[in-house]
Structure 1
Amino acid sequence: MQSSEFEYAGFWERVGASLIDMIILLTATYPILWLFYRGDWERIFATGLSEQPQVFWFDILANYILPFAYTVIVWLLWSASPGKILLGMKIVDAETGQNIDLKQSIIRYIGYFPAMMVFMIGIFWVAFDKRKQGWHDKMANTVVIRNSD
C-alpha cells in the first residue's frame, strides 16, 4: 500500500478518539485509586507524587507505568486505541501501511511528551500537516488513517 492511498484521519476525529480513550482510562483507573486512597478524593486528584515511599511507588505505577503498558499493548494488538477503533481509525507505518511494531509504539508514546510541552503545538500540528501527523507520529514514522476494513 502506497502512502498516497491512505485516507488520513483528521484532527477533530482524533480528538474525539482521544476523549473516548480518556473516559475509558479514567473509568478503569479511578476505582483502583479510590480503593487505594480509601475514598480521599483530594489525594486521587492530586497532581504531584507522594513523598511517602509506599504511596510514591503506587503513584508511579498507576500514573505512568500502567498507562504506558496499556497503550503500547493496545496499539500492538489492534493497531489502534479503543477510541480510534470506535471511530474507524487505525495507526499504521507511514511508508508501508502495515501495523506498527513495538519500537514504533514506544517511540510514538514517548513522542507525546515533546508534542505537548509547549502549548500542545506538536498535537495541533495534525490540523496543518499534509499527512495529518503530529510530532509523535513523525518521530515514530506512523500515520492515523481511516480504516477501510
Structure 2
Amino acid sequence: MNTTELEYAGFWIRVWASIIDSLLAGLVIYPVLTAVYGFAYWEGESVVQGPIDFLMSWVAPALAIVLFWIYRQATPGKMAVGARIVDATTGGKPSTQQLLIRYVGYYVAMLPFMLGFIWAAFDSRKQGWHDKMACTVAVHFSDGGSA
C-alpha cells in the first residue's frame, strides 16, 4: 500500500476509540475485582490492592491491547470507529516489535500531562509520540480487511 493513499485517523476519532476501549475494559475488569475483593475494594487508596487487581488492572489490559493490535491491527474501539494501526513507512501490518514499542510509548506519551497524545491533534500525519516511537500511524479503513 502506498503511504500517500492513507487517510490518517484524527485526534477526536482516536479519543472516541479510547473511550470505547475504556468502557469495554471496565465492563470486564470492575465486576471481576468486585467479585474478588468486594465493594470495599473501591474505597481503598492504593494503586494495587492484591495480585488479582494487578493482573486485571495492568497485565490483562496490556496483553489484550497488544494482542488485538497483532491480530486485528486495532482494538475494539478502533474497529468500532473504522480505524487501524499500520506501519508508517509501508502502510502494511506493523511488526510485533513495533507494536510493543507503541505500547511502551503510551506511558511516555502520558507523562507530561498527556502531551504525547495531544500531539496527534497537531501533527501532519496525526501521530502521537507512541506512534512516532514505533513508526506507526492510525488510519481509516473502509474495506473491513487487514493491510
Q: Structure 2 length normalisation: TM-score?
A: 0.91
Q: 1:63 aligns with which of 50, 57, 66?
A: 57
Q: CA RMSD in A?
A: 1.2
Count of aligned residue pairs for this structure pair: 142
The answer to whether the aligner puts 1:95 opposite 2:89 as a matched pair is yes
Determine the structure 1 residue equivalent to 2:102. 108
Residue segments in structure 1 that go unaligned for 5+ positions in a row: none
Percent identical: 46
TM superposition shift of 1:148? 2.7
Residue segments in structure 2 that go unaligned for 5+ positions in a row: none
Deviation above 4 Å: which 4+ runs of structure 1? none
- Give deviations 1:106-131, integer Å, cap 9, x for gaps: 11111011101011110000001000
- Give deviations 1:68-121, integer Å, cap 9, x for gaps: 111000111110011111111110001111122211111111101110101111
The answer to whether the aligner puts 1:123 opposite 2:132 as a matched pair is no
Determine the structure 1 residue equivalent to 2:43. 42
Determine the structure 1 residue equivalent to 2:9. 9
Q: Give, in whole Å, the separation in 2 of the partners of 1:13 and 1:103.
A: 25
- Residues 73 and 35 (structure 1 numbering): CA distance in 2 closer, same or farther, change over 3 Å? same
- Residues 135 and 61 (structure 1 numbering): CA distance in 2 closer, same or farther, change over 3 Å? same
Determine the structure 2 residue equivalent to 1:138. 132
TM superposition shift of 1:60? 2.3
